[in-house]
Amino acid sequence: MSNAKLSHLAETLIGSEIVKLGNMISERIRAGEKIYNFTIGDFDPKVFPIPAELESLIIESYQQRNTSYPAAEGVLDLRKAVSQFLKEWEGLDYAPNEIQIASGGRPLIYTIFKSIVDKGDKVVYGVPSWNNNHYVHMTDGEHCVVECKVENHFMPTVDDVREHIQGATLICLCTPQNPTGTTLTKHDLGEICDLIIAENVTRKEGEKKCYLLFDQMYWTLTYGSTVHYNPITLRPAMKEFTVFVDGISKAFASTGVRVGWSMGPELVISKMKAILSHIGAWAPMAEQKAVAKYLYEKEAIAAYLKNFKSEIEFRLHSIYDGFIALKENGFSVDAVAPQAAIYLTIKIDLVGKTTEAGNKLSIQSDVTSYILSEAKLAVVPFSAFGGTANSPWYRLSVGTCIKEEIPAMLKQLETALSKLK
């Protein structure tokens, strides 16, 4: 049976490299090893609990026996609450019939792909980016990959998109971005929107349009002078072509609560609903009812975000400052100044160096193993996000970071770096 043949998708799809790495690290931690685990884009609930008001509402919702199947598109009171929330907080105007609820961002992204992309359709996305390569593979699309550069904060530029947009079916953007913690500028996002609008003018009647998948799951988490921009505010004509991915997972440290939403053209949303009705990837009824009430709690949300963002920003900047100090002391590391989300982009450029034991770090995976074994630092290489295997850049997630441990982590990294020749 070990040689039994399965579907082409099953035989060729690669599982989540990030989850695989995170599970391996968790096993070592359970075995008693001290590791600074910055691999998973999740939160330690003991460090970052969900809002107390939301927790109470969820408990109350279960006590009210809200445990039946929800409507396939999401319960109406939640879609109304999302509509109001978007209007108040982001100035976006979406009616309940233009909103689809699901159990987080993943099923929404999958159903956006399945609603729009046919076999052989061109899908344009930058790398590093989260899971675009896998979703294109699952829909048999044509990969149009943009290799993003550090000088552009690892975000695609208008020139990058222009190179591939002719005949494209889907453009995938995520801002603030996983894995980089960086954002698209107002200028670049506006010009990319102009490209999409212009491209769609060339499409004949009955021909498939070029759509934008706009993942803004981290939009509430921006720091300093960083501002989040969306396509519709910048270019109202984009409403016809944009499908958003959003939800509570990252905004309220609620990854396991599983409530996400998409907003977009009613035609696309209706097709997503049909697909989700067969998959059954609904957010639980009790959580939907609770979130519907919580989204109206404007003062409570503002207070939660103020503290939540402050704690994340402190961790990001503390680690960033530590990496820059190491760089200034002559070590081969670097970091991109944090802008948003829960991620820091770091560079550990040690290929070619030799360990105390005389082992040469010949390839980047050797570097990853070395910093894990010697510095006890676990981070995710950009190769797990579609980047090249030899990229020296990594994602560092602070969702489980205990801030009091940051100085010790940086000291241990410095010690490990000092041992190399």
User: How many Å apart are CA 400 and CA 36, to the nearest integer?
Assistant: 9
Average pLDDT (71-86) is 98
Handedness of CA 367, 370, 372, 374 (dihedral sign): negative
pLDDT at 30: 87
pLDDT at 17: 74
Residue 19 has pLDDT above 90, yes or no: no
- % of residues, the chain, pLDDT over 90: 91
pLDDT at 2: 60
28-59 pLDDT, tens digit per residue, is 888 888 999 999 899 999 999 999 999 999 99
Residue length of the chain: 421
pLDDT at 20: 76
CATH number, span 52-297 = 3.40.640.10
Residue 1 has pLDDT above 70, yes or no: no
Kindly provide the b/e burial profile for residues 377-411, where b requires at least 16 CB atoms within 10 angstroms of the residue's own CB.
bbbbbbbbbbbeeebbbbbbbbbbbeeeebeebbe
8-48+302-418, superfamily in CATH?
A: Aspartate Aminotransferase, domain 1 (3.90.1150.10)
221-238 pLDDT, tens digit per residue, is 999 999 999 999 999 999
Contact 188, 155 (CB under 8 A): yes
Whole-Å CA distances, 227 to 2, 3, 222, 282, 340: 52, 53, 7, 31, 9
Average pLDDT (159-166) is 96
The residues that bridge with 299 in the sheet, in sequence order, are: none
Query: In terms of Cα–Cα distance, which of 345, 330, 316 is closest to 406?
Result: 316
pLDDT at 5: 87
User: What is the radius of gyration, based on Cα positions, of the chain?
Assistant: 22
| Per-domain residue ranges of the chain | 8-48+302-418, 52-297
* Residue type present at position 292: A
The residues that bridge with 396 in the sheet, in sequence order, are: 344
Residue 109, both tokens: 């992204």
